[in-house]
Amino acid sequence: MSEEISLPKNANKEEIYQALLPQVKALLFGEEDLIANMANMAAVLKEAFGFFWVGFYIIKKGELVLGPFQGPVACTRIQKGKGVCGKAWETGETQLVPDVNAFPGHIACSASSQSEIVVPVSKGKEIIAVLDIDSDQLDAFDAVDQKFLEEMVGYL
């Protein structure tokens, strides 16, 4: 396995995701450690798209606890139902937030964060974590991100 990601040049977002999926699958193949795989997935997404913050919160003893991430320091614990991450956990559904300042209860780990997507990570029927991505631009995420990120976290 090569530990390098190759990114298509002059590609749009969908093409980049399409190029990433098999590479991420190969990168995670044969490795069972969840933390190692989350760390590599966060690194790939940061490298490919330059997002402001990419990382995981893992459910531990009834709350979300900060896991592997790329970007500035972040809040360490989030309660169920709180913020965008807690909402994704509570509802089991991806949260697409075009403007974090308009999201009631948004937890601002950084004032630079403007929009956000949070994707639940499941093992079987149980949610075990969430993938959280923040952008310093408004309205940075759409249904394309949702579709590919939901597929990608399925590799964990």
Give me the residue whose beta carbon is nearest to ligand SME.
Answer: 83
Binding-residue pattern over the window 85 to 104 for ligand SME, x denoting contact by CB under 6 A: x-------------------
With binding defined as CB under 6 A, does residue 53 bind ligand SME? Answer: yes
Helix axes 143-153, 13-28, angle to 10 degrees: 10
Binding-residue pattern over the window 66 to 85 for ligand SME, x denoting contact by CB under 6 A: --------xx--x----xxx
Among 134, 140, 141, 148, binds ligand SME (CB under 6 A): 134
With binding defined as CB under 6 A, does residue 156 bind ligand SME? Answer: no
Query: 79 forms bridges with which residues in the sheet?
Result: 63
Query: 135 forms bridges with which residues in the sheet?
Result: 115
Taking the least distance from each CB to ligand SME, the nearer of 1 and 108 is: 108
Q: Encode 134-155 in three state secondary structure.
A: EECCCCCCCHHHHHHHHHHHCC
* Cα Rg of the chain, angstroms: 15
With binding defined as CB under 6 A, does residue 114 bind ligand SME? Answer: no
Among 38, 116, 135, 148, binds ligand SME (CB under 6 A): 116
Count of residues that interact with ligand SME, criterion CB under 6 A: 14
Residues at the contact surface with ligand SME, assessed by CB under 6 A: 53, 74-75, 78, 83-85, 106-107, 109, 113, 116, 132, 134
